[in-house]
Structure 1
Amino acid sequence: MKTNVGGIDKIARIAVGLVLIVLTLMGTIGVWGWIGGVPLATGLFNFCPVYSLMGISTCKTKR
């Protein structure tokens, strides 16, 4: 598993995931809010399977 999520992308994924989960727990949105676990997990693990399939990486490259 090679890291392919970095920087602002990581922060955005974690923030969106947490907001969706909190809104679900508060009853503001339905059970679909649990989908927030996906961006939360990809942000915490620094790996996105979809990015891997598409050959995308938001990490800084080492020179």
Structure 2
Amino acid sequence: MSEFRKGNVGGVDRALRALVAVALAAFAYVQLAGPYAYAAYAVAAVLAATALIGSCPMYTLLGVSTCRSKIGRPT
């Protein structure tokens, strides 16, 4: 499996990303116009996608993971 496809976004992180994505998209729809709205929609889309997929390419590049450790769990 590719390094970018491995899950590295934990449950709480995923929930917060989804919540922020919805809030940012709603804020952009109500308050922003023009390029600022498009930029906010783009950020919201990235947050929503990483929340749905459970993997963040930036986390992979930085070597960060918010998933629980699988050490000690039976395979």
TM-score clears 0.5: yes
Q: Give the equivalent residue in structure 2 for 1:56.
A: 64
Could you tell me which runs of 5 or more consecutive residues in structure 1 were left unpaired when the two chains were aligned.
none
For residue 20 of structure 1, the aligned residue among 15, 24, 27 is: 24
4+ aligned runs moved over 6 Å, structure 1: none
Q: Compute the TM-score of the two structures, normalised by the length of structure 2.
A: 0.74
Count matched residues.
62
Question: 1:8: how far off?
Answer: 1.3
Larger Rg belongs to? 2
Q: Percentage identity across aligned positions?
A: 35
